[in-house]
Homo-oligomer: A and B are copies of this chain.
Amino acid sequence: MTPTVDELDVRLVELLAAEPRIGVLEASRRLKVARGTVQARLDRLVARGVIKGFGPELDPAALGFGVTAFITLEIRQSGGHDPVAAHLSTIPEVLEAYTITGGGDLLCRIVARSNADLQRVIDEIVSYDGILRASTLIALAEQLPYRTLPLVGKAARHG
């Protein structure tokens, strides 16, 4: 399998990550390649799904949701996960959810305005029928902010 990305792709992605507002033209100047090349590379990366989008990254904390927590949900086996996921998707404070190993469990990342507010969010979550038990871990500090950039370099090196 041919490498998903090459060295130029890496430099391009890193450049875009560092200075998202620069356009294709400016990027081509920085990378010392033709404008068409940058355009083609970008299109290819998007087409391959490596770049999912350029949407604005929102900061929950700046919106007043300063508390982050991870909650593990034990799901009643009958019924499956889908209805539960549907329920979770109606709660804005549930940012993401994964099914994980270990009988019928779900791991969610949630946010809240305060610890008291967190209680409300959790209550809302567990109000659903199919949820048997919930176990919450409050995030105290973000030791390593979400990042994917190092991965691109690794993908290019290995192939």
Contact = CB atoms under 8 A, between A and B. Distances in A.
Interface of A: 4-5, 13, 16-17, 20-21, 45, 48-65, 68, 70, 81, 84-85, 88-89, 92-102, 106-109, 111, 137-155, 158
A144 B94 contact: yes
A107 B137 contact: yes
A64 B4 contact: yes
Given A57-B51, A63-B50, A92 B4 contact: no
Contacts of A107: 70, 137, 139
A103 B153 CA distance: 34
A151 B60 contact: yes
A150 B53 CA distance: 18
A148 B21 contact: no
Give the number of copies in the complex: 2
Contacts of A49: 59, 61-62
A148 to B, nearest CB: 4
Contacts of A158: 64
A44 B117 CA distance: 27
Contacts of A111: 151
B17 A55 contact: yes
A141 B53 contact: no
B63 A100 contact: no
A20 B152 CA distance: 22
A137 B149 CA distance: 23
A154 B92 contact: yes
Contact of A143 (B5, B97, B101, B102): B97
